[in-house]
Amino acid sequence: MTDQIAIVSNIEEKSLIKKNEKRKEKTLDVFMGIDIGSVSLKIVLLDKNNSIIEKLWLRNQGSPIESSKKGIRELKEKLESSGMFNKINIKGVGTTGSARYLIKSVIGGDIAKTEIIAHAVASLTYYPDVKTILEIGGQDSKIIILRNGVVADFAMNSVCAAGTGSFLDHQASRLGIPIEKFGEYALRADSDISIAGRCGVFAESDMIHKAQMGYSKEEIVKGLCDALVRNYLNNVGKGKEIKPPIVFQGGVSYNEGLVKAFEEALGAEILVPEENILMGAIGAAILVREESERTEKISENWKTKFRGFNVLNLEFETKAFRCQGCPNRCEVVSVYMKTGEEDENGKEKKEIVARWGDRCGKWAVY
Amino acid sequence: MNQTEKHRLKIGIPRALYFYKYGPFWTAFLEFLNCDVKISGPTTSVIVEEGTKDANSELCIPIKIYFGHVKNLLSEFPDLDYIFIPRYVSSHKEQFFCPKFLILPEAVKYGLKFDTPIITLEINVKKNSEHESAINFGKILGYNQETMIKAWDYANQKFEEFQDKAYEGDYIELLDELDTNPKHKRKKKKLKQFIPEAIRGKFMVNILVLGHSYNVYETHINRDLIGRLEAMDCNVTTIEKLPKSEFSEKITINEQYHQYWQSEDEILKTARYYLRDGKNTIDGVIFLISFACGPDSLIQEIVMRDMKKRKISYLDLVLDEHSGESGLITRIESFTDMIRRKKYN
């Protein structure tokens, strides 16, 4: 009798283990990459083989904190509708882009890496032998030179945003052309006209002048694309050895007119990845996976700092003040998280998640 | 005004430009002459703002800051007898300092309006020996030749001692020690640690930071570059860490052209040393340049090409009063990450 019970419990135990194993099999470890730039927010979920589980893009309106929460909410909805929500386990979160540190603090990221490294790493996974990456985003442009699968050199545009996405956006709306059609217009042009591309202000007055001389919109758009490429290669690409394979990524790579202008200027094929705008986010996800693997190797202990989808229920508040401690009068920004709990005096509890902007570091919380 | 036993001359030194190089010499020189030396405090946003207000807008940022420091000295110590503004023309027979150093006393005198007299030590070995420079300086204060030669030699000895100490120690801290004013004491900054604790110190990167001392050690304008690099697990080396013997040989860029600017010569020599003997001790070079610096823009290109040939990673950072912190951090973070991935993967 006792033996039988033992056997039964043994079987039960075994099946329980099997169930657990099955559940384990079903939950997929994924890594989240968030690229928060000046214009848009990109999120991807990658599994450990770098396959995309989920992705999204949205325009970054107003504050990066609100945008990232909106992004996480959309991501959750997408996962729920595809039935993946309960099947994944977010094992790490990597952020990149100009607001990477802010978003890392807010949603609980594990690493924040620069766009250069993120874009390079992403490109290398799709094109292992890539030698040059051209990247033009909303407000900055960069060139990354790779040799033998490592970043060998890079450059970014310095102060001026002429020739980036925002500038094109502005010119498209001025010409009354939807930005999505910009490339088509350029491809339809019959002849070459030259437009000054060194500075956005000069380019604009040149465009107006050419229009008044009777050139068509198509020709002006093509002239603008050529000017941008010239400007990019002379400034950002100055002194760099641009060797194929060349990959063009970032939002502006949607513009076929620019792709063609680059091909003409460089005399080489330009590769545009399918996920051209997501490359930064993909890179961030890969980087956090690498970081988790490295940490596990050294200390066998990796735990993500991701606050979970619970982050949607949290309220964040930013407050700025001018420190009066010394003549530098630094502007210090604090980011508080409201947990909804109350302290002994019945006041709402606020937890500080980030504070920066001071030069001396006396206020800093990272 | 003469130095007497009753009246100890109070002389102010702006903490800018070559203070970051010759500061130890000047203070020792003036202290030997029994002067009460006052140094302006570390650069603040107010000093930068005040400087840019009055300096010609075409000037480079270090000169603008110099103007700010002079104003700061005058307001902090209204009873100064003199403001010490040296004129560096040449300290090697074949070389010159940047023309802005040649005209510095006049630029300040006519750019800013103030009554405190300026006292100038002129270093021009094309015209005078160094001891003659000291003797000329002594005439203003009423010292005889003998004393001035002694003062020069004493200062020189102190300067060399300082350089030896700097070779080992923290250059910025040592410079700060020259100023005993408790109001100017700087607290050690708390900088963000970029490297996760688990792997901190395990993947170090060696960086050579090139540039004029007044850019490399001016932590306000370069946003604490050295400290930040260290917080990114970098071993940082600078021109001051190079053996002095390296600076004695003449440098040739090509057969026709020998290096003409003194400061640039040091930068080039350092770069060449690391291309040769020190080749395996650095992983990357960062060149700090002030916006609108003519000499720098010339040799920046040479250094870049040299480094490219030897496949040493190179980054130039251009400083001006509008430099934002995020742009700088993105660049140095990408640069060190790039090197680290290359070195350890």
A contacts of B190 (beta carbons < 8 Å): 360-362, 364
Confidence of residue A1 (pLDDT cuts 50, 70, 90): very low
Angle at A360 between CA B165 and CA B12, to 5 degrees: 55
Q: Check whether residue B269 and residue B292 sit in a common domain.
A: yes
The whole-angstrom separation of Cα A296 and Cα A314 is 30
> Is A158 close to B189, i.e. CB distance below 8 A?
no
The whole-angstrom separation of Cα A285 and Cα A118 is 9
Amino acid sitting at position A169: D
Q: Check whether residue B273 and residue B303 sit in a common domain.
A: yes
Question: What per-residue confidence (pLDDT) applies to A80?
Answer: 93
Return the higher-pLDDT residue of A162 and B186: B186
Name residue A247's beta-bridge partners: A133, A271
B7 near A CB under 8 A? no
B contacts of A356 (beta carbons < 8 Å): 192
Amino acid sitting at position A213: M
Confidence of residue A235 (pLDDT cuts 50, 70, 90): confident
> Is B342 close to A151, i.e. CB distance below 8 A?
yes
Question: What per-residue confidence (pLDDT) applies to B272?
Answer: 87
Return the higher-pLDDT residue of B282 and A18: B282
Q: Check whether residue B231 and residue B333 sit in a common domain.
A: yes
CB count within 10 Å of CB B144 equals: 10
CB count within 10 Å of CB A257 equals: 25
| Token duo for residue B187 | 């607290």
B contacts of A366 (beta carbons < 8 Å): 192-193
The whole-angstrom separation of Cα A278 and Cα A299 is 32
**What distances in angstroms separate CA A175 from CA A45, A138, A197, A287, B150, one per listed residue?**
38, 19, 17, 41, 76
The whole-angstrom separation of Cα B119 and Cα A332 is 41
B75 near A CB under 8 A? no
* Local structure of B236: helix, strand or coil: strand
- Whether residue A159 contacts residue B322, with contact meaning beta carbons closer than 8 Å, is answered with yes
Which range among A200-209, A324-333, B34-43, B85-94 has the greatest average pLDDT? Answer: B34-43
Evaluate whether ipTM surpasses 0.90: no
B4 near A CB under 8 A? no
Nearest CA in chain B to A326: B44
B196 near A CB under 8 A? yes
Q: What is the pLDDT of residues A250-299, one digit of tens each?
A: 988 999 999 999 999 999 999 999 999 999 999 999 999 999 998 888 87
Return the higher-pLDDT residue of B130 and A161: B130
| Token duo for residue B16 | 């800018």
- Mode of pairing for the β-strands spanning B122-124 and B118-119: unpaired
Q: Check whether residue B44 and residue B120 sit in a common domain.
A: yes
Q: Check whether residue B54 and residue B163 sit in a common domain.
A: yes
The whole-angstrom separation of Cα B126 and Cα B160 is 23
The whole-angstrom separation of Cα B212 and Cα B214 is 5
> Is A361 close to B190, i.e. CB distance below 8 A?
yes
CB count within 10 Å of CB B56 equals: 10
The whole-angstrom separation of Cα A41 and Cα A67 is 7
Domain termination residue (choose one: B117, B150, B176): B176
Amino acid sitting at position A354: A
> Is A295 close to B337, i.e. CB distance below 8 A?
no
CA distance A355 to chain B (A): 11
B contacts of A294 (beta carbons < 8 Å): 199
Strand order in the sheet with A348-356: A315-322, A331-342, A348-356
What is the four-CA torsion angle of B260, B263, B266, B269, rounded to 10 degrees? -40
The whole-angstrom separation of Cα A139 and Cα A110 is 26
Provide residues of A within 8 Å CB-CB of chain B: 98, 111, 113-117, 120, 150-154, 156, 158-159, 239, 291, 294-295, 298-299, 301, 326-330, 356, 359-362, 364, 366
Q: Check whether residue B36 and residue B103 sit in a common domain.
A: yes
| Token duo for residue A132 | 């040059």
Of A117, A330, A360, nearest to B187 by CB-CB distance is A360
- Any idea which residue has 């977010």 for tokens? A90
- The answer as to whether B36 is a domain residue is yes
The whole-angstrom separation of Cα B232 and Cα B339 is 12
The whole-angstrom separation of Cα B291 and Cα B330 is 19
Strand order in the sheet with B10-13: B36-39, B10-13, B82-84, B118-119
- The answer as to whether B159 is a domain residue is yes
The whole-angstrom separation of Cα A298 and Cα B198 is 8
The domain of B297 spans 189-344
Q: A99-113, A149-163, B212-226: which has the minimum mean pLDDT?
A: A149-163
The whole-angstrom separation of Cα A257 and Cα A221 is 8
Q: Check whether residue B148 and residue B271 sit in a common domain.
A: no
Q: Which residues of chain B have pLDDT under 50?
A: none
| Token duo for residue B5 | 């036993």
Of B198, B326, B338, nearest to A117 by CB-CB distance is B338
- The answer as to whether B141 is a domain residue is yes
Q: What is the 3-state secondary structure (H, E, C) of chain A?
A: CHHHHHHHHHHHHHHHHHHHHHHHHHCEEEEEEEEECCCEEEEEEEECCCCEEEEEEEECCCCHHHHHHHHHHHHHHHHHHCCCHHHEEEEEEEEECCCHHHHHHHHCCCEECCHHHHHHHHHHHHCCCCCEEEEECCCCEEEEEEECCEEEEEEECCCCCCCCHHHHHHHHHHHCCCHHHHHHHHHHCCCCCCCCCCCHHHHHHHHHHHHHCCCCHHHHHHHHHHHHHHHHHHHCCCCCCCCCCEEEECHHHHCHHHHHHHHHHHCCCEECCCCCCCHHHHHHHHHHHHHHHHHHHHHCCCCCCCCCHHHHHCEEEEEEEECCCCCCCCEEEEEEEEEEEECCCCCEEEEEEEEECCCCCCCCEC
The whole-angstrom separation of Cα B203 and Cα B195 is 10
Q: Check whether residue B126 and residue B234 sit in a common domain.
A: no
DSSP class of B175: H
- The answer as to whether B135 is a domain residue is yes
Interface probe, candidates B337, B340, B343, B344, chain A, greatest A C-beta count within 10 A: B337
Of B190, B224, B341, nearest to A362 by CB-CB distance is B190
- Whether residue B321 contacts residue A256, with contact meaning beta carbons closer than 8 Å, is answered with no
How many domains does chain B fold into? Answer: 2
| Domain chopping of chain A, boundaries | 28-118+281-311, 128-272, 314-356
Show Cβ contacts of residue B23 under 8 Å, excluding neighbours closer than 6 positions: B13, B15, B39, B175, B178
Nearest CA in chain B to A153: B313
Question: What per-residue confidence (pLDDT) applies to A162?
Answer: 63
- B295: preceding bond cis by omega (within 30 degrees): no
CA distance B251 to chain A (A): 24
Q: Check whether residue B209 and residue B167 sit in a common domain.
A: no
Question: What per-residue confidence (pLDDT) applies to A11?
Answer: 54
- The answer as to whether B98 is a domain residue is yes
* Local structure of B139: helix, strand or coil: helix
Of B199, B304, B342, nearest to A150 by CB-CB distance is B342
B342 near A CB under 8 A? yes
DSSP string, B178-218: T---GGG--PPP-----S-GGGTTTS-EEEEEES-HHHHS-
- The answer as to whether B305 is a domain residue is yes
Backbone torsions φ then ψ of B260, nearest 5 degrees = -110, -35
Q: Check whether residue B226 and residue B168 sit in a common domain.
A: no
Q: How many CB pairs under 8 A join A and B?
A: 85
Question: Which has the closest alpha carbon to A74: A95, A57, A88?
Answer: A57
- The CATH classification of domain A128-272, taken from the options 3.40.50.1580, 3.60.40.10, 3.30.420.40, 3.40.50.1450: 3.30.420.40
> Is B44 close to A326, i.e. CB distance below 8 A?
yes
CB count within 10 Å of CB B83 equals: 26
- The answer as to whether B116 is a domain residue is yes
> Is A295 close to B198, i.e. CB distance below 8 A?
yes
Question: What per-residue confidence (pLDDT) applies to B37?
Answer: 95
> Is B338 close to A159, i.e. CB distance below 8 A?
no
B309 near A CB under 8 A? no
| Token duo for residue A24 | 């384990």
Of B189, B198, B331, nearest to A299 by CB-CB distance is B198
- Whether residue A144 contacts residue A135, with contact meaning beta carbons closer than 8 Å, is answered with yes
Strand order in the sheet with B313-319: B234-238, B205-210, B284-290, B313-319
B302 near A CB under 8 A? no
B contacts of A154 (beta carbons < 8 Å): 334-335, 338
> Is A114 close to B318, i.e. CB distance below 8 A?
no
- CATH code of the domain containing B316: 3.40.50
Name residue B82's beta-bridge partners: B11
Question: Which has the closest alpha carbon to B240: B267, B280, B279?
Answer: B267
Burial of B221 (0-12, 13-18, 19+ CB in 10 A): buried
Q: Check whether residue B139 and residue B91 sit in a common domain.
A: yes
* Local structure of B307: helix, strand or coil: helix
Structural class in CATH, domain A28-118+281-311 = alpha beta
- Whether residue B95 contacts residue B262, with contact meaning beta carbons closer than 8 Å, is answered with yes
Q: Flag whether pLDDT at A149 surpasses 80.
A: yes
Q: Check whether residue B144 and residue B222 sit in a common domain.
A: no
| Token duo for residue B239 | 């021109």
- Whether residue B10 contacts residue B38, with contact meaning beta carbons closer than 8 Å, is answered with yes
